[in-house]
Amino acid sequence: MSPTSCRRVAASILAAALSMSAGSLHAQSAASLGIAAGATLPVSSYGDDKDLGYHLGLVLDVRLPTSMFGFRVDGTFTEMKYSSNSTKDQIWSATFNALLKVPSTTTIAPYVIGGAGIYNRHRTLFLGNNATTNPGLNVGGGFRFHLTEMTAFLEARYHRVSGDNGIQIVPISFGIVF
């Protein structure tokens, strides 16, 4: 699958999720849009030749009323530079995640999150480009900070992508859900 095709698929998934939230999901639950950003740590052998990177993302957060469960759809762009040259790895991902909130009576609530997604790795080279698309899994946890009009979150997740690239990353994200 070409990088353009993967981006179109990811955009279609996000658009479908957003359109569902505007209609029937909103009537049954509190669906909210948000943004997230932070540092991305390449780990294991995947990180041997890469520096700390960054990521930016869009979030569709769906909370089920009176339930500890919810789900979240994330669309993320990640970039990491190779240590020894100007080559960069860019990863576009779309993930669907289950969310389990730990009951809390304070404004800070811990949660665990995990799911599956599709990851498109695009590597810029001096004389060309190299792109692959593979499925992957992620798992992690974080803290939600319930504010008056919005919710902020701080989380870390481990992502492992199948395929020959051996992508293993740990993004540490700060986000706001409106």
Tokens coding 26: 């909103």
- Residue with token string 């179109």: 8
Higher pLDDT, 52 or 7: 52
Quick one: pLDDT at residue 129? Answer: 72
- In tens, the pLDDT along 115-150 reads 999 999 998 776 667 899 999 999 999 999 999 889
Q: How much is the pLDDT for 135? A: 98
Per-residue confidence (pLDDT) for residue 171, from 0 to 100: 98
CB of 17 closer than 8 Å to CB of 73:
yes
| Per-residue model confidence (pLDDT) at position 23 | 42
Which uninterrupted H or E stretch holds 137? strand 128-146
CA distances from 64 to 19, 69, 88, 95, 96 (A): 17, 6, 39, 19, 16
Query: Quick one: average pLDDT of 92-120?
Result: 95
Domain range 3-177, CATH architecture: Beta Barrel (2.40)
Count of residues making up the chain: 178
166: left (phi over 0), alpha (psi -120 to 50) or beta: left
User: Running DSSP on this structure, what letter comes out for residue 123?
Assistant: E
Which pLDDT tens digit goes with each residue over 18-71?
A: 454 444 334 445 899 999 999 999 999 999 999 999 999 999 999 887 889 999
Higher pLDDT, 166 or 26: 166
Q: Give the confidence band of 11 by pLDDT, cuts at 50, 70, 90.
A: low
pLDDT at position 12 is 58
* pLDDT score recorded for residue 25: 39
Identify the band that residue 16 occupies on the pLDDT scale cut at 50, 70 and 90: low
